[in-house]
Amino acid sequence: MSEEDAPAGETELGMAPIVDIPGGRGDNQRRVQSPAVTPENTDDEGDLEGSEVSSNHSNPISARERRRRRTHAKGKNGRSGIDMTPPDKLLREAGRRARKYAQQKKVDHSIHEYIRCTALAQIVHGPNHWRVAKSYADLGEAYFTQKGYTAQTQYHCERGRDIMLSGVHTSSSDQEKADIYATLTKIYLTLGKALTQMKKYKEAEQSLKKADKVIGERGQLSCVSDEECDQVEIELSLAQARLFSAQKKIALAQSRYGEGLEQIQRSLGDDHIDLIPVYQEMGKLEQMKGRHANHDHAIEMFLQAHSVAAANYKEGSLELQDTALAVAKAYASTGKEEAEASAESYLIECLAVCTTGFGPGHPKTLQVQDELARLYGRTDRQEEALSILRSTLPHKCEAFGDYSEQVSDTHKLMASIHLSQGNIERALRFYKKCHNVESLVLGTNHRKTKDTQRTMDILMASPNISHKFVLSKQDELDKRPRFNAVVNRSSPVVGTKS
CA distance 185 to 151: 19
Mean of pLDDT values over 183-202: 96
Mean pLDDT, rounded, of the chain = 84
Q: Which range, of 271-275, 325-329, 349-353, 464-468, averages the lowest pLDDT? A: 464-468
**Mean pLDDT, residues 335-343 taken together:** 89
pLDDT in tens, 467-498: 666 555 565 555 566 666 565 555 555 555 54
Residue 106's CB is within 10 A of a number of other CB atoms, namely 20
The Cα 407–Cα 385 span in angstroms is 16
Contact 297, 285 (CB under 8 A): no
Residues 208-236 as b or e (16 or more Cβ within 10 Å = b): bebbbbbbebbeeeeebeeeebebbbbbb
Q: Mean pLDDT, to the nearest integer, of 239-268?
A: 95
Whole-number pLDDT of residue 56: 43
Where is pLDDT greater, at 27 or 461?
461
| Cα separation, 342 vs 325, whole angstroms | 12
Query: Cα–Cα distance between 58 and 228 in angstroms, integer?
Result: 43
Enter the pTM of the model. Answer: 0.77
Strands 169-171 and 18-20: parallel
Per residue in 106-156, pLDDT tens? Answer: 999 999 999 999 999 999 999 999 999 999 999 999 999 999 999 999 999
